[in-house]
Amino acid sequence: MGLTEFGSDALSRLFVRTVILSSSPVCPGSASEAMEPALPNVLPPELLYKRGQIFTLASEDLHTNLCLLLVCHTAHDWVLPLLYNTISLSSHAQIVSFFVAHDTLQEPHMHRLRLVRNLWLGPQANTSDSSLFYGSNAWPLTIIHRILYSCTNVESLYLINLDQNEWFRLENVIPSSVKRLAMGPVHGPFILRNLNHCPHIESFTSALSFMRDDEVKEIVTYPHMREFRRILQAHPLASVSDILVDQLPCVSASQTLESMRFEICGPQERAFGLLGTITAKIQERHVDARITASRVAEEDWMAYLHHEFLSLKNAYVWQLARS
């Protein structure tokens, strides 16, 4: 039986049992205890050879990963990036706890924060019971500012439910490493030149938000931009404004943009109705062929984006498995 035929739980137990017999580590009781390995490199050669598949299948089990951190230096170096690659902070309490656990003035903690590649800030679904609702004063903006300042290697950043009147407080700290940025709803003015660290953003997603003509033009003509996506939510009062469609001709001015997509979430019947409307308006104006519209299967746009966010880690761990 191949490694990929094992369940992740079974493989995790098998792996932990093997390395415990080899090195007898003590599994940690909390994340704060699971940061430094207790022993040098003592893993059997067979496990070293199969490390990619093993860590891929074990990566979703937090307790197992915390145990593996203490096995030896080699295991610690493998597992720590898995733990920090994708971080989702969906409530005030989670954001504060994450910040408190990572004193950004201490170098070991700074090193861990530099391992973060994908960062989600905000609720994961419209139905979730989160303190971070739109317009909430529970958003700890000073702490978020500090986290963004320290996570200098973030490539994908999702800011969900941030009030449009608060966005300007974070513009100057968006890391230069960011390539993918998603925001909404009603995120307010998005001006690329206002991002002080000048990230080379390749993909921008605007969810349920009005955008001015100058914003759209700057985004589609930005030399690093490859994908511009606007997410719409189908509901009884949803419509496609002429303003939105009248902005589309500027896409033809871009030499680097690969696609501009409208993606529609919501109940099937309503979503297909909205899709038909926007498709007809696009065809009427004979706009650039790079502009498309489609319906997505997920009804909740937040849940749709969060599933996409989680897939970034899946892609990362399977890349490790193949290496």
Q: Please report the pLDDT score of residue 176 as a whole number.
A: 98
Pick from 217, 307, 212: which is nearest to 265 by CA?
307
Q: Is 86-321 CATH 3.40.50?
A: no
Give this prediction's pTM. 0.84
Neighbours of 105 (CB within 10 A): 7
Kindly state the DSSP code that residue 124 receives in the 8-state scheme. S
Q: Which residues contact 80 (CB under 8 A, 6 or more apart)?
A: 69, 112, 115
State how far the Cα of 202 lies from the Cα of 182, in Å rounded to an integer. 11
Alpha-helix residue ranges (DSSP H) falling in 187-300? 213-221, 242-246, 268-284
Extract the runs of DSSP E, i.e. beta strands, from 202-306.
203-207, 227-233, 259-265, 291-295
Q: What is the pLDDT of residues 199-245, one digit of tens each?
A: 999 999 999 999 999 999 999 999 999 999 999 999 877 888 888 99
Pick from 193, 247, 196: which is nearest to 224 by CA?
193
Q: What is the pLDDT of residues 71-130, one digit of tens each?
A: 677 777 778 888 899 999 999 999 999 999 987 666 767 889 999 999 999 999 987 678
